[in-house]
Amino acid sequence: MEFTCEKKDLQTGVSAVEKIVTTRSTLPIIGYILFDADKNGLKISANNLEMGVELGVKAKVIKEGSVLVPAKTLTGIVSRLPEGNVSFKLTEKGTIRISYAKSQFNVHTLPPDEFPVLPKVKDGKSLTISGEIFVSMIRQTIFAVSSSEDKYVLTGVLLDFGKSSTSGDSSNFRMISTDGYRLAKRAEKIKLKDDVKGKVIVPSKALQELSRIIEIAKDDSELRITFSSDQIAFRYNDVLLVSRIIQGQFPDFKQVLPKKSSSKIITKRKAFLEAADRTSVIAAGSANIVRFETKSGQLRLFASTPDVGTVDEVIEAEVQGEAKTQIAFNIRLITDVLKALETDNVVLEMSENLGPGMIKEDGVRDYVYIVMPIRTQEGA
């Protein structure tokens, strides 16, 4: 095997696949990256048995062949190479010679025979969506997944395809996440054939890597999604990412939606986020508890920690409904969503008697965030 390529193209490709490489495994071979050079060009891929990614790299192939290169060593070398042409040549001794300028590395390799093949999604259903929209949907839901393996089904994001059963909902694609304390749902209406419907739970890490790959590309290409009962594949330009699907029953978000709220607050997202962030400094010492209160056209955030101090933030807002409502939330769950929203104004709906709070973007898209309240002595 022999090929030449530009350092910048090689680094883009290696950085796109090395993130999924697992070095701590009983199967050492998945700590390697596969180089496959043929008449169609150069492809590099990685596979950690849960997820695999394959992409093309611009290269001039001189001699066809395949080889496995240790990911950690390769990443360290490529990141330090000077700009310009880089040559790769597999020697008779089984090492890969990486030449640049008048210098070279010689790195030990493995034959590709036992490397796990990227799985094919058989008998799958397919659709396309704007990569930019898909990344936005990931950003507004992924932060609400559970980090606990005890709630394994909640460590992924639910992708729900097909006509909605909710009255007044015209969307045909929904992305939903929850960790049991909060729930995020983003919905879109896309071009979707009537027979493409179903629900799959995708591991959050797969969506994080896909989002990173799309954002690096910085173009408006379409993303093609193909899913079956156990696998899902994402094709974006010359990148293919395949992931297993998490099996299990995802909670029904419709049962969590509040039936009514006692007050509706419309305020500036940036001002709300900055106030919440400042309040969290004091709240950090008292389980992140912050009391929310509406009064006289204002939203007030109050936190107190013994031996530390108090904070009282007042935000200008339009308050509809009851003149005064008081309820407590974990402020970290509030700042998480405010960072993910994209509009200037946000809507906060609150209900007393320990009803969940609801945060939305102000009339832009179908997005809803539900957060459970906290019982406090004041509330009791």
356 DSSP 8-state letter: P
CA–CA dist 344, 313 (Å, integer): 19
pLDDT band at 380 (very low <50, low <70, confident <90, very high): very low
In 176-189, which positions are buried (b, 16+ CB within 10 angstroms) versus exposed (e)? bbbbeebbbbbbbe
Taking Cα atoms as reference points, which of 230, 245, 243, 236 lies closest to residue 118? 243
pLDDT, position 170: 84
Q: Is the pLDDT of residue 218 over 90?
A: no
What's the rounded mean pLDDT across residues 244-256? 90
CA–CA dist 60, 51 (Å, integer): 28
What pLDDT digit, counting tens, does each position of 224-240 carry? 999 998 999 999 999 99
- What is the torsion angle, in degrees rounded to the nearest 10, for the CA atoms of residue 351, residue 378, residue 317 and residue 350? -10
What's the rounded mean pLDDT across residues 205-214? 94
CA–CA dist 308, 247 (Å, integer): 46
Q: Is the pLDDT of residue 251 over 80?
A: yes
Question: Tokens 């009962």 appear where?
Answer: 229
pLDDT, position 377: 64
What pLDDT digit, counting tens, does each position of 340-374 carry? 998 999 999 998 777 899 999 987 678 999 999 99
Please say whether the beta carbons of 272 and 346 come within 8 A.
Answer: yes
- What is the torsion angle, in degrees rounded to the nearest 10, for the CA atoms of residue 332, residue 336, residue 337 and residue 341? 140
Read off the tokens for 323.
Answer: 């003149």
pLDDT, position 38: 94
CA–CA dist 299, 316 (Å, integer): 6
| DSSP secondary structure of 332-349 | HHHHHHHHH--SSEEEEE
What pLDDT digit, counting tens, does each position of 25-50 carry? 778 899 999 999 999 999 999 999 99
pTM: 0.91
pLDDT, position 256: 80
According to CATH, the superfamily of the domain at 2-108 is: DNA Polymerase III, subunit A, domain 2 (3.10.150.10)
pLDDT band at 207 (very low <50, low <70, confident <90, very high): very high
What pLDDT digit, counting tens, does each position of 113-170 carry? 989 988 888 888 999 999 999 999 999 999 999 999 888 999 999 999 998 877 777 8
Q: What share of the chain is helix, strand, coil (3-state, %, to 5)?
A: 25, 45, 35
| DSSP secondary structure of 240-261 | EEEEE-B-SPPP-GGGTS-S--
pLDDT, position 378: 53
Candidates 1.10.275.10, 3.90.280.10, 1.10.10.10, 3.10.150.10; correct CATH number of 257-371? 3.10.150.10
What pLDDT digit, counting tens, does each position of 68-103 carry? 999 999 999 999 999 999 999 999 999 999 999 999
pLDDT, position 166: 77
Please say whether the beta carbons of 256 and 370 come within 8 A.
Answer: yes
Average pLDDT of the chain to the nearest whole number = 92
Residue span(s) of the chain under CATH 3.10.150.10 come to 2-108, 125-254, 257-371
CA–CA dist 185, 301 (Å, integer): 25
Read off the tokens for 309.
Answer: 């101090």
Q: Is the pLDDT of residue 9 over 70?
A: yes
Helix axes of 204-217 and 7-18: crossing angle, nearest 10 degrees: 160
Query: Which CATH code for domain 125-254?
Result: 3.10.150.10
Q: Quickly count: other Cβ atoms within 10 Å of residue 35's Cβ.
A: 25
Q: Find how far residue 241's CA is from the centre of its chain.
A: 14
Beta bridge partners of 41: 38
